[in-house]
Amino acid sequence: MILAWLKRGGTVILAWLQGFGRFWYRFIIGDDWTVAATVAAALVVTWLLHTAGVAAWWLPPLAAVAVVGASLRRTSRFAGGSPRTAAVADSLDRSAASRTDYR
């Protein structure tokens, strides 16, 4: 009985860890991995410039605005409509594809 309980507990913990990791991946990476990569690169370059004595506080906001604009333009071009319509359609497709039955 104890062995079955431990086995079930381990399964629950692994499922929780998988869900936790999936949440953070989707939160950080989201729909467009290039946004996350650009922001990470901007933070690294800002840190390098800061260690060199250059005031580079303006770089992360500038990079974020530029990459989000490029992402919206790319999304609207592929969807053939407005960026909002494309984002909503993509979100609905993603949520329908990620539904699982936990019975």
pLDDT by residue (tens digit) across 36-74?
Answer: 999 999 999 999 999 999 999 999 999 999 999 998 888
**Is the domain of 39 the same as that of 64?**
yes
Give yes or no for a contact between 75 and 83, defined as CB atoms under 8 angstroms apart: yes
Total structural domains in the chain?
Answer: 2
**Is the domain of 16 the same as that of 52?**
no
**Is the domain of 38 the same as that of 81?**
yes
Q: Summarize the confidence of residues 82-89 as an average pLDDT.
A: 57
Using the predicted structure, report yes or no on whether residue 97 has a pLDDT greater than 60: no
Q: What is the pLDDT of residue 4?
A: 60
- Calpha distance 67→94 (Å, rounded): 22
Q: What is the pLDDT of residue 77?
A: 78
**Is the domain of 79 the same as that of 103?**
yes
Q: What is the CA radius of gyration of the chain?
A: 20
Q: What is the pLDDT of residue 23?
A: 92
Q: Summarize the confidence of residues 22-27 as an average pLDDT.
A: 90
**Is the domain of 80 the same as that of 100?**
yes
Q: What is the pLDDT of residue 31?
A: 75
Q: What is the pLDDT of residue 7?
A: 62
**Is the domain of 71 the same as that of 103?**
yes
**Is the domain of 40 the same as that of 14?**
no
What's the domain range around 78?
31-103
**Is the domain of 17 the same as that of 38?**
no
**Is the domain of 75 the same as that of 48?**
yes
Give the count of beta carbons closer than 10 Å to the beta carbon of residue 86.
19
**Is the domain of 16 the same as that of 41?**
no
- Calpha distance 44→19 (Å, rounded): 29
In 49-66, which positions are buried (b, 16+ CB within 10 angstroms) versus exposed (e)? Answer: eeeeeeeeeebeeebeee
pTM: 0.58
